[in-house]
Amino acid sequence: MDAREAVIEEIRTAPEAVIEEVLDFLRFLKSKSAVEKPTHTQRRVLPDFEARKRAIFGDRILPDSQEIFDELRADRI
């Protein structure tokens, strides 16, 4: 039995209230995946880490600024 068949079997035995929640959740997941998939016309924009660094620290150089800058860079991974 594959996952689709297992889900259908569970739905057959579930109460109506649970089925309505499952339907809402399924629609949510489908819409979420449609929004998250970039199309070939969309371009992924990477954050400008230098601009973020300047926004946080200005022209100051603090002893821990490189450490924080590295954390900002790690956000994209």
> Are 31 and 50 contained in the same domain?
no
Q: pLDDT value at position 29?
A: 87
> Are 7 and 28 contained in the same domain?
yes
Give how many domains the chain has, as a whole number.
2
Q: 41-50: long-range contacts at Cβ-Cβ below 8 A with a sequence spacing of 24 or more?
A: 46/76, 47/72, 47/75, 47/76, 49/73
Inter-axis angle of helices 49-57 and 65-74, nearest 10? 140
**Nearest to 10, CA basis, from 19, 26, 21, 24:** 19
* Assigned domain for 41 exists: no
What residue ranges of the chain have pLDDT lower than 70? 34-47, 49, 53, 57, 60-65, 75-77
Dihedral of CA 29/30/34/37: which sign? positive
- In this prediction the pTM is 0.41
Q: Which domain holds residue 24?
A: 3-36
Q: pLDDT value at position 12?
A: 92
